[in-house]
Amino acid sequence: MSETMQQTAEPVLEIRNLSIDYPISIGTVGAVEKVSFDLYKGEALGLVGESGCGKSTLGLSILKLVRPPGKITGGQILYKGRDIVSMRDRQILKLRGQNIAMAFQNPLTSLNPLFRIDRQFLETIHQHEPGINKSEALKLAEAILEELGIEPSRLYEYPHQLSGGMRQRIMLGLGLIMNPDIIVADEPTTSLDVIVEAGFIDLLNRLRGRYNLSILLITHNLGLVAEIADRVAVMYAGKIVEIGGADKIFHDPLHPYTYGLINCVPNIRLDQEELVTMPGNPPDLVNPPAGCRFSPRCPKVMDICRVQEPELKAPAAVQGTGQLSDQTSGAGSDTARRVTACWLYQVKGAE
């Protein structure tokens, strides 16, 4: 975690007991189930987990963009203390772009191929600041393009005239033009080659430093998380199973799922020699297993795991060793506090 973050550790976003369902013909997909975490000012939080565990649904919900039949069925999303879940559409539209930006790999927010880039910037700016005149707005757009390492003259081109990397940066620019506090980026580098991706990572890190942006980075790409994130939240089958400082998550994971996930990735940084695969598949979210949802795949499963769900909390002791685990790494900072939902670190009935 960066020093800046420790000095200004106040949450800009507090997710509390958030649940999101998709009703389908054979039942209800519990895509997000009682999820809670905070995003702090100036931090980058990586949200990782296997495909279908609910990452995008969670990301979309932050601006109430979950598409029907998806529905937020419980909990709160507090932006600077105000609950987004209970906001009206008008208030949400104001937040979108101005306070919270989204960088998604989906058609909802992608560039319109029919319009030049300048028009797309002008529309975004006028939506939030109707009073601003055209030449001022274009100056703002040219400045952000320059910041993103793109010739300002490219503003007057159509999306198809630009490379994939440029389009990606322009999408980021459209998100950043109104100086938001938070950017939610869902797989922002999927379509980029390795070199462009490295540039994008540098860019995101620079912008974060300059504007004290908070980033929620949703991705399968653990290498990307290692490059950007201060903390990591690990999601499995609709639930958060571990949150902690990025270094701790990568080098000393607590939850067996986190361990499996990290070990599946051939990663030079982690000195891994063999590619390991995690056996089994994530559960059906219409009928998830009782107790710990990871129990059917967990190499350390115990009887209690199959009947009772562990809470997400600071680990008390490592079962079988009696030793206190290293849960307070980050020395007294709440933002670095580690939590995990696993019976290996909890004593039944103990508080």
Ligand X SMILES: Nc1ncnc2c1ncn2[C@@H]1O[C@H](COP(=O)(O)OP(=O)(O)OP(=O)(O)O)[C@@H](O)[C@H]1O
The CA angle 232-236-238, to the nearest 5 degrees, is 110
DSSP 95-130: HHHHTEEEEESSTTTSPPTTS-HHHHHHHHHHHH-T
* Nearest to ligand X of 137, 232 (CB atom): 232
Among 24, 302, 307, 324, binds ligand X (CB under 6 A): 24
DSSP 8-state code for residue 313? B
* Nearest to Mg ion of 56, 214 (CB atom): 56
Residue 295 binding: pick among Mg ion, ligand SF4, ligand X, none (C-beta 5-8 Å cut-off by kind): ligand SF4
- What type of residue is 113? P
CB of 240 to ligand SF4, least distance (A): 13
Distance CA(45)–CA(219), nearest Å, equals 11
**Cβ within 8 Å of residue 125, ≥6 positions away:** 132, 137, 140, 141, 177, 178
The yes or no reply on residue 285 touching ligand X (CB under 6 A) is yes
CB 209 within 8 A of CB 240: no
Among 1, 15, 53, 262, binds ligand X (CB under 6 A): 53
The residues facing 212 across adjacent strands are: none
Q: Which range of residues in 22-30, 147-155, 246-254, 313-321 is near ligand X by CB under 6 A? A: 22-30
- What type of residue is 79? Y
* Nearest to ligand X of 50, 252 (CB atom): 50
Residue 57 binding: pick among Mg ion, ligand X, ligand SF4, none (C-beta 5-8 Å cut-off by kind): ligand X
Give which of 338, 343, 348, 266 is closest to 298, Cα–Cα. 343
Consecutive H or E run containing 83: strand 82-83
Among 39, 42, 55, 168, binds ligand X (CB under 6 A): 55
Give which of 255, 227, 252, 230 is closest to 242, Cα–Cα. 255
Give the tokens for residue 270. Answer: 């982690």
Q: Which residues of 289-321 are buried (b: 16+ CB within 10 A; e: fewer)?
A: bebbbbbebbeebeeebeeebbebbebebeeee
Q: Which range of residues in 51-59, 120-128, 202-210, 316-324 is near ligand X by CB under 6 A? A: 51-59
Q: What mask of x and - would describe binding to ligand X in positions 218 to 247, judged by CB under 6 A?
A: --x---------------------------
CB 2 within 8 A of CB 210: no
CB of 1 to ligand SF4, least distance (A): 25
Among 29, 84, 261, 342, binds ligand X (CB under 6 A): 29
Distance CA(109)–CA(257), nearest Å, equals 32
Region 35-74 residues binding Mg ion, contact defined as CB under 5 A: 56
Q: Work out the angle between the directed axes of helices 89-98 and 117-128 (0-180°, nearest 10).
A: 130
CB of 351 to ligand SF4, least distance (A): 18
The yes or no reply on residue 240 touching ligand SF4 (CB under 6 A) is no
The yes or no reply on residue 70 touching ligand X (CB under 6 A) is yes
* Nearest to ligand SF4 of 300, 313 (CB atom): 300
The yes or no reply on residue 120 touching Mg ion (CB under 5 A) is no
Q: What mask of x and - would describe binding to ligand SF4 in positions 276 to 315, judged by CB under 6 A?
A: ----------------x-xx--x-xxx--x----x-----
The yes or no reply on residue 25 touching ligand X (CB under 6 A) is no
Contacting residues toward ligand SF4, per CB under 6 A = 255-256, 292, 294-295, 298, 300-302, 305, 310, 342-344
Footprint of Mg ion (CB under 5 A): 56
Residues in touch with ligand X (CB under 6 A): 22, 24, 29, 31, 49, 51-57, 67, 70, 220, 285
